[in-house]
Amino acid sequence: MTYKKVLKLVFAVGVSSSLFVISACREDSADLVEKNRKTFEREKSQLLRAVQNELDAKEQARQRLEKSLGDLQKELKKEKSAQKQPASLRNPTWDELKDFLRDDKTNEKTYDLDTYDCKGFSIELRDHARDFGLRSAYVSIEYVGLNVAHAINAFETTDQWRIYVEPQHDSITYLEKNKADVFIPMDAVKDEFYQCQTPWDLRQALQKTKYVGSLFNYAYYENYEDRMNCWWESHELHNAEIKEYNIEVGNYNKFKTTSVDRLNRRLKHLNAWGDNLKSFAKDLGRYTSDGSFLVPPTSDRKIVNIQHYWN
């Protein structure tokens, strides 16, 4: 074999070996890429699962916190409600009710037909009584032939049974079906008071009497109304005698038709009578600080129904 032939053989073998090596390298690279891809996919999947698990854990934690917040808000609401409203409401005595009404300021509010009518007064007094620990009722009164109702309040007392209160002026209200709703100033409701059988009684020294019966039955108001009418009649008689006295004084000044002693005695009698009228009016709770008599409102509305809504 010649030298050239040997070189050609060696070259051919060398080329063939190189191609084999290149081919083998290509196959190894493809396997590596595939292996790396699978590894990447596996790691990515693991990472996604880890992230999802973390998100799920955080969502569960958020839900637990949200529930805890809701529970805390409920507890706070209950606590505020418990602070505002006593655990149990009680019925007051008559004296306790008077003290509560004197301290309460609902009656100082201004009535407004559109924004704060009788219902507003009644609801507010009921709520104030609840905050004070007292049981009370919103009372709706319906009248014969009328499409409107009136609202007041009621209290069950431990010593005087049921008492109705007009929240607009803290007067004691008297209710009975087929009769008008009427009221008496709170401080005038008492079991001992000046009595008046005839208008002439007020010309003499006033006499007190003890009332036998409930102070909050309608019969008590009827007795009060009789005393008030007696006062009015005596008041008119007193004014008439004052006019006669003034005429007599005028005649004396002109004609000396009477004596000074008689005029003085008559004036003393009129002054004593006037003082009795003033004391009797105060006893009725109708005498104001400016010296005038408070005329009670009259009503011809007949009650047909009374509804109580207790707290």
Q: Which is more confident, 36 or 115?
A: 115
Q: What pLDDT sits at residue 111?
A: 96
pLDDT band at 289 (very low <50, low <70, confident <90, very high): low
C-alpha 172/C-alpha 214 separation (Å) is 13
17 class by beta-carbon count within 10 Å (0-12 exposed, 13-18 middle, 19+ buried)? exposed
Q: Are residues 163 and 154 in contact, defined by beta-carbon separation less than 8 angstroms?
A: yes
Phi, psi of 12 (to 5 degrees): -65, -45
Q: How confident is the model at residue 22 (pLDDT cuts 50, 70, 90)?
A: very low
Tokens of 174: 């008297």
What's residue 122's pLDDT?
Answer: 98
pLDDT at 270: 97
60-97 pLDDT, tens digit per residue, is: 888 888 887 877 776 666 555 545 555 699 999 999 99
Return the beta strands (E) in the chain as ranges: 137-143, 149-157, 161-166, 171-174, 182-184, 192-194, 208-210, 303-310
Q: What is the pTM of this model?
A: 0.70
How much of the chain, in percent, has pLDDT values that exceed 70? 84
What's the angle, vertex CA 298, arms to CA 297 and CA 304, rounded to 5? 125
**pLDDT per residue over 116-148, tens digit each?**
999 999 999 999 999 999 999 999 999 999 999
Q: Residue 14: pLDDT above 70?
A: no
Q: Domain 91-185+301-311 is in which class?
A: alpha beta
d(CA 89, CA 129): 9
Asked if the model's pLDDT at residue 103 lies above 70, the reply is yes
Residue 115 main-chain phi, psi, to 5 deg: -120, -25
Cα–Cα separations (whole angstroms), residue 167 to 128, 129, 153, 160, 164 = 11, 12, 7, 19, 9
What tens digit of pLDDT does each residue of 260-273 get? 999 999 999 999 99
When pLDDT is averaged across residues 173-195 and rounded to a whole number, the result is 95
Tens of pLDDT, residues 202-253 = 999 999 999 999 999 999 999 999 999 999 999 999 999 999 999 999 999 9
- The stretch 183-210 carries a mean pLDDT of 95
